[in-house]
Amino acid sequence: MDHQLFAEKLREVTLLYVEDDPDVRAHISEFLRRYTSGVLTASSAEEALELYRQRRPDILLLDINLPGINGIALATMIRREDRRTRIVISTAYTDKAFLLTAVELHLTRYLVKPITSEELVDALLKAVEELRERDRVDLGKGCYYDRDAKRVVCNGVAVPLRRKEMQLLEFFIRHPDRVLSYEVLQYEVWQDDPMSKDALRAQIRNIRKKTHPGIIRNHSAVGYRLYDGESM
């Protein structure tokens, strides 16, 4: 286990650990706090749900067999409103029926107790990687938009977009499945500033030069649409 790498990965992460056994909860939370200060703990699903809504943790580590509302019910409630938070579930037994439920809940990992430190670290590292993937918008040709850092990266290198170029691209990202007309772009991005079609074309041309030609596609006489993964 690379302790330094694990600490670096968890440094910016908030983790909510839910376990009703006080000894197990103390042991695991002490281990996690060696690597990150962002550890929250709860002994029940009800307490966890309140903490979740207050703090919106990045990762949820929870036991199935909780008093009252169980871990599956808690994960189900959270998934109804949140697809981003990564969920790792632990249990003292294996259950084939639950494994099918786990797929539907988009869980990161299903751990069987007793959990080793290596298994826990692997699960949390996977959760962090999944968070990063969900925070990235694929823009094609090795380019992506990092929602957290608010920057565009192409082939591992940050792309320096000007303010208006970034505003324009971020508006496209917020509306990935729409062809955006000139009028919509003028009203939403330029607002009270004057904008000609030539100015819009110049901004899009600059974005293409700095990234790749297919990042924003022209729909003749209608408007533009963001790259959608189709062949270019």
DSSP string, the chain: --HHHHHHHHTT--EEEE-S-HHHHHHHHHHHHTT-S-EEEESSHHHHHHHHHHH--SEEEEES--SSS-HHHHHHHHHTT-SSSEEEEEESS--HHHHHHHHHTT-SEEEESSPPHHHHHHHHHHHHHHHHHHTEEEEETTEEEETTTTEEEETTEEE---HHHHHHHHHHHHSTT-PEEHHHHIIIIITTS---HHHHHHHHHHHHHHS-TTSEEEETTTEEEE--SS--
Per the domain annotation, does 221 fall within a domain? yes
Give the residue numbers spanning the domain of 106: 3-134
pTM across the whole model: 0.66
Per the domain annotation, does 162 fall within a domain? yes
* Shared domain check, 21 and 103: yes
pLDDT-based confidence at residue 95 (cuts at 50, 70, 90):
low
Q: Residue 39 pLDDT > 90, yes or no?
A: yes
* Shared domain check, 147 and 130: no
* Shared domain check, 102 and 191: no
* Shared domain check, 149 and 115: no
Point out the domain boundary residue: 112, 134, 156: 134
pLDDT-based confidence at residue 200 (cuts at 50, 70, 90):
very high
Q: Residue 217 pLDDT > 90, yes or no?
A: yes
pLDDT reported for residue 231: 45
What's the CATH number where 167 sits?
1.10.10.10
Point out the domain boundary residue: 134, 149, 166: 134
* Shared domain check, 165 and 122: no
* Shared domain check, 123 and 8: yes
